[in-house]
Amino acid sequence: MRSKMHRGQRLTESQFGFLLALPALAVFGVIILYPLLNSFAMGFTNQSLLKPARRFVGLLNFERIFMDPNILQVFVNTFVFVICTTVLSFSLGFIWAILLNQGIRGSELLRGITLVNWIIPGTAIGFLWMWIFNGQYGVLNAVLRGLGLIEENITWLGRPMTAMAGVIIARAWQTLPWYMAFLLAGLQAVPFEQVEAARIDGANNFGVFTKIVLPNMKFIIFLILILGVIGNLQHFDIIWVMTQGGPAQATTTLAVEVYRRAFQNWELGVAAAIGVLWVLLISIFAFFYIRNLEREGQ
């Protein structure tokens, strides 16, 4: 191809290509890269909104974080929240996708309605589930009492274990349609001839699933699990609306802890230091995501 002319100045083909990507790179630099580097730098200072000047303090913030006896619980909470939401949502989404892929009447309609969960704003989902789990007027208590499973109402979000279970159930509910959509597309791409051949060879449902369906969907499963984990590692709004990290830190994940430190205690330096650790944690998963994309692309 001929090189492009631009204001009388010759641009080579690759320069022109780079020019097209420039706006995206500029936006990335201004709204992602600069704030991120700024936060990283802040992690090594004692910046606080209550004091005017900031001073370089080296690794003091990190020292303080690791001396804090509560931080271990925050990491454990994050771990529990991320693993449970991802596993619960993925497995129910997978089963739901398989059921809706069986071709019963009305499947298309149900697929459509399922996606409603995904488009409801996180804050609304938080309030909705809060209302369901409500200790006095909640429908969950009413149903369990009606079935005779509990004697008295339980304030679900007021106890550490059930509060964690509550936010996990709400978050899994929000993300289920997302997994379903991807897995449904994956299921439909499984070659029908292979399933048929396996049937002729006498495979049962379990055999078809493990020998034909899973191998064919390996890539998509890996991809959505990693994206799911990254999304859950970042998740903030449902937890914040439902429990604000409580009762007594029981549902405080890294996202909630950074927000609390920064915008309630005004300790920007410490918050940024936790943020650095958090981003490093996410980077591990991002690395696997990109490596997998790379491998599939070749």
Partner 1 sequence: MFEVRTLWQKALFVLAFVCIGIYVFFPTYWMVNTALKPAQEVFNPIPTFWPTVISLAGFKEVFRDQRIWVYLKNSLTVSLISSGLATVIAAYAGYSFSKFRYRGRKAFMYLILTAQMFPFVVLLL
User: Which residues ranging from 117 to 136 are in contact with partner 1 (CB under 8 A)?
Assistant: 117, 120, 124, 128-129, 131-132, 136
**By CB under 8 A, residue 176 contacts partner 1:** yes
In angstroms, the CA 44 to CA 269 distance is 7
Among 74, 82, 157, 233, binds partner 1 (CB under 8 A): 233
Output the smallest distance, CB 29 to partner 1, in A: 9
165, two tokens: 């279970």
130, two tokens: 């809060």
Among 71, 279, 288, 292, binds partner 1 (CB under 8 A): 279
Whichever of 4 and 160 has its CB closer to partner 1, that residue is 4
Among 3, 123, 234, 265, binds partner 1 (CB under 8 A): 234
Whichever of 80 and 279 has its CB closer to partner 1, that residue is 279
Whichever of 160 and 223 has its CB closer to partner 1, that residue is 223
Contact track, partner 1, 183-222, x by CB under 8 A: ----x--x----x--------xx--xx---x---------
Among 82, 238, 242, 271, binds partner 1 (CB under 8 A): 271
User: Which residues ranging from 12 to 71 are in contact with partner 1 (CB under 8 A)?
Assistant: 13-21, 23-25, 27-28, 31-32, 35-36, 38-39, 42
User: Which residues ranging from 149 to 168 are in contact with partner 1 (CB under 8 A)?
Assistant: none
User: Which residues ranging from 76 to 115 are in contact with partner 1 (CB under 8 A)?
Assistant: 92, 95-96, 98-99, 101-102, 110, 113-114
**By CB under 8 A, residue 270 contacts partner 1:** no
